[in-house]
Amino acid sequence: MPKRVMQGVVVSDRSDKTIVVQVDRKVQHPLYKKFIRKSNKFHAHDAENRFKNGDKVRIQECRPISKQKCWEVLYDEA
């Protein structure tokens, strides 16, 4: 089964080796057919404390690392 990959913006980097990423998506309302912006926050593992607030990152699903953390940051060398 493929792992989910999402793209979002870092909203918190206070914790050690953990960042909080906000992922925005647009969904269509079933009745009114208007597109609505929804967002979720995910805790992601950042072992090197490399990313700061405002950075755009890609996260990938992984094994549970802690109670809330089951995502890891993909390190793209760009």
**Residue 78 within any structural domain of the chain:** no
**Residue 25 within any structural domain of the chain:** yes
What is the predicted pLDDT for the residue at 77? 58
What tokens were used for 72? 């890891």
Range of the domain at 14: 5-73
What is the predicted pLDDT for the residue at 75? 79
Q: Could you give the count of Cα atoms lying within 13 Å of 7 in the half-sphere of its Cβ?
A: 2
Q: What is the CATH number of the domain that holds 10?
A: 2.40.50.140
**Residue 12 within any structural domain of the chain:** yes
- Overall number of domains in the chain: 1
Mean pLDDT in runs of 10 for the chain (78 residues)?
93 96 97 98 96 96 96 80
Give me the amino acid identity at 2: P
DSSP string, the chain: -PPPEEEEEEEE--STTEEEEEEEEEEE-TTT--EEEEEEEEEEE-TT----TT-EEEEEE-S--SSSEEEEE-----
